[in-house]
Structure 1
Amino acid sequence: MKVEFTRTGPYAGVLSVEVEAERFDRALDEAFRRVIRHVEVPGFRRGKVPRFIFEARYGVESLYEEALNVLLPEAYRAAVEEAGIVPIEEPEIDVESLGKGQPLRFKATVTVEPEAEVGDYRSIALVKPVVSVDEEEVERELAAMRERVAVLRPLEGEEAVVQEGDEVDLAYRVFLREGEGEDAPERELEDAKRDEVTVEVVPERLLPGFAEGLVGMRVGETKDIFLTLPQDYHDASLSGKPVRLSVHVKAVRRKEYPPLDDEFAREVSDFDTLEELKADIRAKLEARVREAKDREVRDALVEKLVDITEVELPESLIRREAEAIVEELDNVLRSMGMDLARYLEAVNKDREAVIREHWEEARRRVVGRLALLAVARKEGIEVDEGRWREKLAELAQVYRTTPEELERVLRREGAYEALRRSVLFDQVVDRLLSYVTWVEEAPAPSEGGEAASAEGAGSAEESSGDAERE
């Protein structure tokens, strides 16, 4: 197949394609197999008409339209991939010539990503990332490990008094109050009554004031706890209303934690000593911080690149990216048990308003990609096939398939080029990082001194249950 792309404007061009005669003839064969199922010719059963009789009766030209339906989409996708362009709208296709035993020639007028002009990307300055983990972070990880192996011990007798962090079995009744005073009229909320419920006495997990009211209660004790339901309470008819909870404590259990010693280290890990365990925790935390800092630096580098890039963007390209951002938002909301429709209703906005809110973010995303492509062209960077294969193998493992099958799916779904680009962009950022001028991180603000703002730092760089919360 012969492919030639000619740019005719900032974001327009013509793709000239010639498809081999053999491929067009195979498309004619497929077109005949499709068409003949619906054709009736006297003396033949439907679908059994010989090809030469069909062509004699209707002409081979009657198959051309179906052959184009078979071949054009596939040929267009392959031509786009070969030309290395990314159309952002459906093309206008003009078939110039076709015929049995002849090549198919067509032109596609396409709207494509514009080419960006990038400034002096070799003079970008960034704050040098500092990777550090303090002792408190290590201790928090150890505390989380202790939490996982803690044992709940039932409390009895004099020690059976509720403390924060305990697990408590209780029963309660809820009364809606018509005022704040103790003698205010009230009515019981029958649906809120519980005869057996277990709660963990952690303030942020319970209704405001409920955990505090439980602290100090003894097993067998009944107590009134007066609360005001929060404004975001799950039952809107009760939001902000005062209530009385008549609470009876049935049992209390308290977590017992193992001591932080070598035996603990052996229990929760493959290490023999607590010091070895702490060293491993620190190393893993540092690796996590290093990875996060690396992402931050790479993002900051692209942001700097955007600031020194000039490009004329079609509105359709920005809109498509803004809509993609809104789709991402919808996915996040769904993972939280919500969706975009309910979100829009809650914030009293329509989809278009949210798209417009993300317009500038979308614009910068698009400019960032175009800037990276421009640098790739200037630096002569192409996709490293080794890294590409590593990426395919990594994703194939995630999706439990083979790299070869994944590549076929990517091509079929039109996602092949986007993934190839992601690998290319990583390579471009690696190259840009080799040019970066690193500056030391601004010191923390001191008393009486003026804190260095992010903006100031940037300028310096350039110059250098019902009772439970539901």
Structure 2
Amino acid sequence: MSVNWEKQEGNTGVLTVTVDSKRVDDALDKAFQKVVKQVNVPGFRKGKVPRPIFEQRFGVEALYQDALDILLPEAYSEAVEEAGIDPVDQPEIDLDDMAKGEPLTFRATVTVKPEVELGEYKGLEVEEESQEVTEEEVSEEIHRLQNEHAELTVIEEGEVQEGDTVVMDFKGFVDGEPFEGGEAENHTLEIGSGQFIPGFEEKLVGAKAGADTEVEVEFPEEYHAEELAGKAATFEVKVHDVKRKELPALDDEFAKDVDENYETFEDMKKAVRERMEQEKQQKVEMNKKDKLVEKATENATIEVPEAMVNTEVDRMLEEFGQRLQSQGMSLDMYYQFAQTDEEGMKEQFKEDAEKRVRMNMTLEAISNAENLEATEEDVEKELENMAEMYERPVDEIKQLLAMQGGTDVLKGDLQVRKAIDFLVDESKSVPASE
């Protein structure tokens, strides 16, 4: 088999492949063995028609398509390896006429992974971020915990206040007519949560339990239901109950309710601060890595093929669908809710997908330039970490990875991490600008 790669403008090229006649004939033989099982010829049992009789009756051309289906994928794969190219999309195949006993030549127009021209990536400057956790931040977190452990008490008298929870019936009208989805009974709503149309919750403030009231609002111009967008609506509301949070006292008993391991309120406060400091440190480190990767990517020159962006968009959509599924929602349900479709979602992902591709290619190029290899020892250590994290045996983790491309994918991820660590090690921290 002869192979010739001719690079063209941009990230495309033509791979010209000539397959020798013997291999063509072998593919025709395999095609015959497949096709003959389905052929009925009078005087012969099914699958037992001799090759000469088959070709006399149907012509050798009847085998060409099946032979090509057998031959082309193998020949193309071998040619790609021999040419040393890295395709990122399905090729466009143009082939000469096939003939028994003759070589076969085909041309594959291929989009390949682009070359990355690295710019400055060593000694990049990044502003220092404070890792200090203030007393105010600790107090806010404790107040959040206090709200989490608050009890709701029914208010017999008094008016609805911000933060109260109301149990109500409501029915909405537009132009005097009720609209679909605008009615519910015994619906629970926390005032200030932002769950309803802007203005609705605020206008319930001051209402009393047992009272009937009307709330007039306007649907936002960008509301997902086009027939309601921008229109004025009136809601008839019956408030059944008003519930108010009773915040627990910030004492030792509260601390024990939060976590039985706390003996005193001061124990809890100290633990909260330590956790927040750890989270702040991780956030600062992550921000630093993100900024350095972004800078290195901006300094690199890459002509990203659309095929790579489309592949990343598909991956992002799949990830998004998996997240929705874990929350009990399907993509189709989300499309209906968000008034969009698959193409609309892909368009939303496109810009971020291109950024991802650029960043990944930059990091891969840095890894290659600095010979940052992920060793088998690195892979085994990571497998052990994953096994510990997911509380699964290492062999089971390997089996799961095998279904997703094997440990080569993991090795690639580790090399990317090494490249990021390299950027951090080589970077310079500078004081934050005022």
- CA distance in 2: counterparts of 1:436 and 1:389, whole angstroms: 29
Q: Deviations over 1:211-241 (max 9, x none)?
A: 4454444444x35445333335658458442
Partner of 1:439: 430
The offset of 1:243, in angstroms, is 3.6
* 1:283-320 Cα deviation digits (max 9, x unpaired): 33334334433333233222222333234x26xx1464
The answer to whether the Cα contact below 8 Å between 2:218 and 2:233 also exists between their aligned partners in 1 is yes
Contact 1:116 1:310 in 2 (8 A): yes
Superposed, which structure 2 residues align to 1:69-468 within 5 Å? 69-70=69-70, 72-73=72-73, 76-77=76-77, 83=84, 85-90=86-91, 92=93, 110-156=110-156, 159=157, 161-171=159-169, 196-202=186-192, 204-220=194-210, 222=211, 224-225=213-214, 227-232=216-221, 236-237=227-228, 239-241=230-232, 243=234, 245=236, 247-273=237-263, 274-311=265-302, 313=303, 317-318=305-306, 320-321=308-309, 324-325=312-313, 328=316, 331=320, 334=331, 337-338=334-335, 342-343=339-340, 365-388=356-379, 394=386, 402-411=396-405, 421-443=412-434
Query: What is the letter of the counterpart of residue 309 of structure 2?
Result: E
2:116 maps to a residue whose letter is A
Matched residues in 2 for 1:145 and 1:3: separation? 71
CA pair 377-327 structure 1, distance change in 2 beyond 3 A: closer
> CA separation in 2, counterparts of 1:380 and 1:263?
57
Residues 1:46 and 2:37 are matched in the alignment: no
Aligned AA for 2:241? A
Partner of 1:132, secondary structure, is coil
**Contact 1:203–1:210 (CA under 8 A) maintained in structure 2:** no
- Counterpart in 1 of 2:327? none
Report the AA paired with residue 219 of structure 2. Answer: P
Alpha-carbon displacement from aligned partner over 1:427-457 (angstroms, at most 9, x marks no partner): 22222222112212223xxxxxxxxxxxxxx
Q: Deviations over 1:119-141 (max 9, x none)?
A: 34223222234333333333333
What CA deviation, in whole Å up to 9, does each residue of 1:147-187 have, x standing for no partner?
Answer: 3333222334xx5543332333345676778xxxxxxxxx6
Report the Cα distance in structure 1 between the residues aligned to 2:4 and 2:412, rounded to whole angstroms. 19
Report the CA distance between 1:90 and its aligned residue: 1.2
Of residues 234-243 and 365-374 in structure 1, the stretch that sits farther from structure 2 once superposed is: 234-243
Structure 2: which amino acid aligns with 1:121?
Answer: Y
Gaps spanning 5+ residues in structure 1: where?
Answer: 178-186, 444-470
Q: CA deviation at 1:376?
A: 2.5
1:271 offset after TM fit, Å?
2.0
CA distance in 2 between counterparts of 1:188 and 1:110 reads 60
Q: Structure 1 residue 337: deviation in Å?
A: 2.6
State the Cα deviation string for residues 224-278 of structure 1 (Å, max 9, x = none).
4453333356584584426474x55443332223222222222222422333333
- Does the CA contact (< 8 Å) of 1:219 and 1:252 recur in 2? yes
Please report how far the alpha carbon of residue 69 of structure 1 lies from its aligned counterpart in structure 2 after TM superposition: 2.2
CA RMSD of the aligned region, Å?
5.4
CA distance in 2, matches of 1:362, 1:193: 40
For residue 125 of structure 1, what is the amino acid of its counterpart?
Answer: E
67-76 vs 9-18, which moves further: 9-18
After TM superposition, the score normalised by the length of structure 2 is: 0.69
Cα distance in 1 for residues equivalent to 2:26 and 2:398: 25
Change (3 A) 1:67 1:409: farther
1:456 alignment counterpart: none
Tell me if the contact between 2:5 and 2:14 (Cα under 8 Å) persists in the aligned partners: yes
Q: In the alignment, residue 87 of structure 1 is paired with which amino acid?
A: V
Give secondary structure in 1 for the equivalent of 2:40.
coil
Distance 2:425 2:91 in 1: 39
Letter paired with 1:169 = V
CA distance in 2, matches of 1:57, 1:238: 68
CA distance, structure 2, for counterparts of residue 218 and residue 389 of structure 1: 64
Amino acid paired to 1:45: R
Structure 2 unaligned segments of length 5 or more: list them.
325-330
